[in-house]
Amino acid sequence: MDIKNILVSQPYPSSDKSPYFDIQRKFGVTLTFKPFIRIESLSPKEFRAQKISIPNFTAIVFTSKTAIDHFFKLAEELRAKPNEDMQYFCQTEAVALYLQKFIVFRKRKVHHAKSGKIEDLAVVMKKHNTEKFLMPVAEVHKEEIPAFTKAKLKVTPAVMYRTVSMEITSEEISSYDMLVFFTPSGIQSLFENMPDYQQGEQRIGLFGPQTAKAAEDHGLRIDAKGPTPELPSMASVLQKYLNDLE
């Protein structure tokens, strides 16, 4: 089976230097970019049902830029913007720097794990264990984070956003030779749009162990998978796969 049309379940690349464009030129394939999911904030009414008051907390824990976006959006809608004394604990430096979009950045109130690991973030938080920690999370999330439990940190999760499947027709899905996924939610969206989906000769490429598990749980055949030490990105996985087909 020739691979001519590939659906990549991500937004269109923001840079014209994206390696996906190199793949199109090198292999003569057409890549279509269309997310299978979108992230939406809870409404203020939905959030209030959790009986959580943002002003009651002295520190916010962020594990992603998405969490930051939805926290400040919801806080504004609730008229509960954090005060200037609020402390922020971020899993990575990139997430910490992203806060500059929303607050006056002061190093003494913004902290991050140097390694990017949640275990190291817990160590940083432990030094400030008198703070009352609030952590924005998705609607589907881990009920307990072992690193925080081990450090005896009391962190209150606050659901602030959810993943929603995008509508895509069975005719559209079946028009592609290959589908590329990046999250378990993307796999879930496929089956929500096509409950009777049969893979047949259609190829499946995916990124990440949790995405692979979701695919296997749905009985899908995985044709191209990453990351690996040699193939750290989905673009490199796809390039090798197409190269091997030639």
Q: Look up the pTM and report it.
A: 0.73
71 lies in the same domain as 24? no
110 lies in the same domain as 126? yes
50 lies in the same domain as 137? yes
Domain boundary among 144, 163, 182: 163
Q: pLDDT at residue 133 above 70?
A: yes
> Of the candidates 65, 106, 100, 102, which has an alpha carbon nearest to the alpha carbon of residue 85?
106
Q: pLDDT at residue 178 above 90?
A: yes
22-36, 96-110, 138-152, 223-237, range with the lowest pLDDT: 138-152
126 lies in the same domain as 216? no
- Choice between 135 and 16, residue whose per-residue pLDDT is larger: 135
Look up residue 11 and give its two tokens: 């937004």
49 lies in the same domain as 99? yes
Domains identified in the chain, total number: 2
- Measured CA to CA, the distance from residue 168 to residue 37 in angstroms comes to 10
Q: pLDDT at residue 141 above 70?
A: no
Please report the pLDDT score of residue 86 as a whole number. Answer: 95
Output the domain CATH number for residue 215: 3.40.50.10090
Q: What is the pLDDT of residues 10-64, one digit of tens each?
A: 999 988 899 999 999 999 999 999 999 999 999 999 999 999 999 999 999 999 9
Q: Indicate the angle between helix axes 19-27 and 234-245, nearest 10 degrees.
A: 10
52 lies in the same domain as 147? yes
Domain boundary among 111, 130, 163: 163
190 lies in the same domain as 210? yes
10 lies in the same domain as 110? no
Helix (H) or strand (E) holding 66: helix 65-77
Full domain range(s) for residue 16:
5-36+166-245
Q: pLDDT at residue 97 above 90?
A: yes
Split at pLDDT 50, 70, 90, the class of 1 is low
Sequence-distant (6+) residues with CB within 8 A of 227 are: 207, 208, 233, 234, 237
Say how many C-beta atoms besides its own lie within 10 A of residue 110's C-beta. Answer: 20
11 lies in the same domain as 115? no
Split at pLDDT 50, 70, 90, the class of 72 is very high
3-state secondary structure of 182: coil
230 lies in the same domain as 144? no
192 lies in the same domain as 133? no
101 lies in the same domain as 213? no
Domain boundary among 163, 192, 213: 163
Give me the DSSP letters along 45-57. HHHHTT---GGG-
Integer-rounded Cα radius of gyration of the chain: 21
